[in-house]
């Protein structure tokens, strides 16, 4: 079973360029035998694309910005802890290198991270942000419960 996460960011960069930040940060390689557009990470598969119109609309209505790039993570439930840690590390790496408002969603609606107008907020209600994972956050952040879409 896989757990689905989407990192959506408003940027002028192409999806492939945002994906390359993750590939470089985690030293990943394209998946052999799979789609050339999928990247295998520790306990997850990753792909990049443009944000679908309905998904863009939901983020605009609830979070107040219009994302353009969507990084899709499919985490292997049997490797959840390691996969989640690597995914959060990679998302924070993108935030260090790519400007723009952004959000990380679980299941298309639970907000785990929100960066808007340069302010980073991490969700305090889900338990995703353990001390181990918070160690990757080298920018100032606030912890509080975030809304769902």
How far, in Å, are 58, 96, 141 from residue 138 at the CA level?
29, 9, 9
- Check if the beta carbon of residue 8 is closer than 8 Å to that of residue 58: no
- Check if the beta carbon of residue 43 is closer than 8 Å to that of residue 3: no
- Whole-number pLDDT of residue 129: 96
pLDDT by residue (tens digit) across 87-141?
999 999 999 999 999 999 999 999 999 999 999 999 999 999 999 999 999 999 9
- Whole-number pLDDT of residue 36: 53
Domains recognised in the chain with CATH numbers: 2-144 (3.30.70.2920)
pTM recorded for the entire structure: 0.93
CA distance 45 to 82: 13
CA distance 103 to 111: 7
Neighbours of 54 (CB within 10 A): 7
**DSSP state, residue 146:** -
How far, in Å, are 92, 97, 106 from residue 131 at the CA level?
15, 23, 20
pLDDT by residue (tens digit) across 23-60?
999 998 765 555 557 899 999 999 999 999 999 999 99
């Amino acid at each position: 079973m896989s757990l689905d996460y989407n990192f959506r960011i408003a940027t002028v960069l192409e999806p492939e360029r945002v994906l390359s930040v993750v590939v470089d940060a985690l030293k990943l390689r394209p998946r052999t035998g799979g789609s050339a557009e999928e990247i295998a990470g520790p306990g997850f598969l990753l792909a990049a694309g443009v944000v679908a119109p309905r998904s863009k609309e939901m983020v605009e209505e609830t979070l107040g910005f219009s994302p353009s790039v969507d990084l899709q993570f499919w985490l292997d439930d049997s490797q959840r802890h390691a996969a989640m840690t690597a995914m959060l590390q990679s998302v924070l790496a993108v935030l260090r290198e790519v400007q723009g408002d952004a959000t990380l969603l679980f299941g298309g609606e639970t907000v785990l991270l929100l960066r808007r107008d340069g302010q980073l907020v991490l969700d305090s209600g889900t338990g995703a942000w353990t001390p181990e994972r918070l160690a990757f956050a080298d920018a100032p952040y606030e912890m509080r419960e975030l809304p769902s879409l």
